[in-house]
Structure 1
C-alpha cells in the first residue's frame, strides 16, 4: 500500500472529518437534551449541577437556567481536553501518531455508547468526561500533518486539515438535527433506557467506529525521533521551553479560543431561545457556517500559503471576526443581520485557526511537533474550559447581548496582540 505524503494527508483529512462529525452531532441537540434532564431532575449529580448553577446565578433570569447548566458541563469537557491533549501529543512523539489515534478514537466510541444509554444524568456526564479525555485527536492529527509538510507548505497542510474539520463541523450538526427526527429507536427512549434523541447518539457511534477503521487500516505507523523529556504535560515545563514565541502564540490561541468559543457555545441557545430554531434548523445554520469554513480553508488558505506569512493570514482573519462580532452585537436580532454576521465570523475563524496552528508548528523541531502542538492545543482547550461557564453566566445574567459584546471586546484585544507578535525567531 502506498504511503505517499499526499495519500497520508488525505487520510488525515478523513480522520478529522469523521472525528469532528461525531463530536459535533450533539451541538443542535444540546439545548433540548439539557431541558430533558432539567425536566427529569431525579439524579444526585444533576442536583449538584443545578445547585452550582443557582450559586452562580446571582439573581439572573431563570429562563436561562439550562444555558448556565450547559456552561458548567461544557467547561468540564473542555478542561479534560486541556489536560489530555498535550499528553496525547507527547505520547504520539514517542509511540507514533497511529497508536495514539487508535486509542483515542476507541475511547470516543465508548463515550458515545454511554451517551446513547444515558437515561440518567450521571451517565451523560460520564460520556462527556470520556470524550473530553480522548480529546487529543486534533493535536495528534495536526502533528501528523506537520510531519508530512515543510515550512513553505505547512499553512496549506493545516488549511487542508482545517477543511476536514470544517466539513465535519458542517455535517455533524446537520446530521444531528436530521437524525433527531428519526424514530426507529424512540421506543427505547419511551421505556426510559436511552437518552433523548437516541438515533443521533447511535449515528455518532457509527461515525466514531468509522474513524477507528480509517486509522487502523489506512494510516501508516510513524515513530519520529524525539528529544527526551521528563515532564509529559508541557504546562509542567513551561519555563524550559526554548521558544518563547511558541508560548506567546499559544497564549494568543487561548485568548482567541476564549473569546470565539464563548460565542460558539451560547449561539446554540441563542438560536433556540431568540429565533425558536428547532434542532434541525440549528443544524442547517451550522451547515451555512461550515460551508464557508470549507471554502475558505480548502481554497483561500491554500492559495495564500507560501505567498504571505502565517501571521498575516491570522491578522486578516482577526479583522473579519471583529467585524462579524460587531455586526452580531448591533444587528444580530434580525434574521438578515444574524446571517451576515455569521458569514464574517466563519470566514475570519477559517483564516485564524490554520494560520495560528501553522505559526505554532514553525516554532518546533521535527521531533517535537507533538509536544509543541499539544501545548498550543492545550492552551486552546483551557480557553474552551473557561469560556462555557463565563459566557453562559453572562448570558444567564443579561441574555445574549452582553455575552456577544464581551466576546467582541476580547477579539479586539486578540487582534491588537497578534499584530505586535514577532514572527519566527532565527
Structure 2
C-alpha cells in the first residue's frame, strides 16, 4: 500500500478535492454573477443619478472583499484550532443565507450591508485552499491546488455569463434566490461528503504555542512574507486592469463593445483555467519558486504589447496568453507558504495570504481608475508591467538556497 494511503491526513484527499472544487466553483459563481446587472439592481433600489449608480455599484462590489480581507486570518486561525471542514460548513451555509437575503434588499444601504455580510460569512474558496494545501500529499499539492484554482477561475468565468442570462429569464431577485439554493447544495455536499482527519486532543504544549506569536514559530519568515507581498501585488495588478478594459476598447473603436469586453475578460480566465493544474504539476517536479518567477516574468513581458495594441482582437490574444502565465501563480504561492510553516499555523498563514489578495482586489480598481483617468489607459498596463517585473526580480533574489 502506498505511503499516501497510510497517512490518515491524506487518505481522502481526492474526494476532498472534488468537493472543494465544486464548492469553490459554485460560491465564486454566486459572488460574480451580479457583475453584469449590479448597476441595474442599484437603480432598482432607488438610486437614480447616473454618477451615484456607478459609485454605489463600486461600493457594493468592493464591500465583500473588504470584510473578507478583515476576517480571513480569523477563520484561518479557527480552522487550525477546530478543523477546516467546520470552516467550510460555516462559509457555505453563511453564503447561502447571505445570497438569499441580498435578493430581499429594499434599499441601497441594505445591499451594501448584505454584501459586507457575504464577505464576513463567506470565504469558501480560501478555506478550500487551506484544506487542500494541508491535507494533500506534499508531492501532489501543486497539482491539486492548480485543479482547485481552475475551479475558482471557471467560477469567475461562468459567473458573469450566467448573470447576463438569468435576470431576463427569471428576474434579478430570483437570480439571487437560485444562487442561494445552489450554495445550499454545496453546504450539504461539504457536510456529508468531505472527510477531514479527526483532530487529536490539544496538548498543553500546543495550547502554550497559541500564546506565542506565529512569526516566532517560523524558522525563516522571509519566504512567507515574500509570498504575502507577491499575492497582494498580483491581485492589485490584475484588478487594476479589469475595470478599464471596456474604456480601453472604446479608444480602440471596438464594434459590439460589451461583447468584446466580455471576450477580453473571459480570455484571461480561460487561459488560467487551462494552465493552472499543468503548471502546478510542473512546479511539483521542478520547484514552486521557479514557476512563480517564470510566470511573473512572462506576465510582465506580455503587458508591454497590451499597451501598444491597435486592434481589439490583439488584446484578446494577449490577455489569453497572460492568463496562461497567471494560472500557475496562486497555487504555487499557496504551496510555498504551506511548505514553510508548521502544520499548526498553516491555516492562519494562508489566511493572511488571502487577506493580502483581498486588499489587492480592493485597492487595484481604485488605482487603475486613477492612473487611467489622469494619464491614459495605456499607462495602466505600463505601470502594471513595472509592478509585475519588480515581483519577478524579488522572487529571483529572495528564493531560499534550499528551495527547489
Tell me if both proteins adopt one fold, taking TM over 0.5 as the criterion.
Answer: yes
Aligned pair 1:301/2:279, yes or no?
A: yes
- Say if 1:343 and 1:107 are closer, same or farther in 2 by CA, change over 3 A: same
CA distance in 2, matches of 1:108, 1:339: 33
CA contact (8 A) 1:71 1:392 kept: no
What is the CA-CA distance between 1:353 and the residue it aligns to? 1.5
Name 1:291's counterpart in structure 2.
270
Name 2:161's counterpart in structure 1.
174
CA RMSD, aligned part only? Answer: 3.3
- Say if 1:34 and 1:337 are closer, same or farther in 2 by CA, change over 3 A: farther
What is the CA-CA distance between 1:77 and the residue it aligns to? 2.8
| Aligned pairs for 1:15-414 within 5 A | 15-30=23-38, 32-33=40-41, 39-41=47-49, 70-182=57-169, 184-185=170-171, 197-224=172-199, 227-228=206-207, 241-244=218-221, 245-267=223-245, 275=254, 285-298=264-277, 300-331=278-309, 334-398=311-375, 400-414=377-391
What is the CA-CA distance between 1:293 and the residue it aligns to? 1.9
Name 2:4's counterpart in structure 1.
none
CA distance in 2, matches of 1:93, 1:162: 22
Please list every run of 5 or more consecutive structure 1 residues that lacks an aligned counterpart in the other structure. Answer: 42-62, 186-196
What is the CA-CA distance between 1:401 and the residue it aligns to? 3.0
Please list every run of 5 or more consecutive structure 2 residues that lacks an aligned counterpart in the other structure. Answer: 1-9
Post-superposition Cα deviations, 1:233-258, rounded to whole Å, max 9, x if no partner, equal: x9x86576543121222122122222
What is the CA-CA distance between 1:74 and the residue it aligns to? 4.3
What is the CA-CA distance between 1:144 and the residue it aligns to? 0.9
- Say if 1:68 and 1:74 are closer, same or farther in 2 by CA, change over 3 A: same
Name 1:423's counterpart in structure 2.
400
What is the CA-CA distance between 1:67 and the residue it aligns to? 5.7
Post-superposition Cα deviations, 1:261-296, rounded to whole Å, max 9, x if no partner, equal: 222344467568975867776555544433322211
CA distance in 1, matches of 2:250, 2:183: 27
Q: TM-score, normalised by structure 2?
A: 0.84
**SS at 1:93 equivalent:** helix
What is the CA-CA distance between 1:5 and the residue it aligns to? 2.2
Higher relative contact order (CA 8 A, sep 6+): 1
Stretch moving more, 240-249 or 84-93: 240-249
**SS at 2:105 equivalent:** coil
CA distance in 1, matches of 2:362, 2:258: 24
Q: TM-score, normalised by structure 1?
A: 0.80
Stretch moving more, 154-163 or 221-230: 221-230
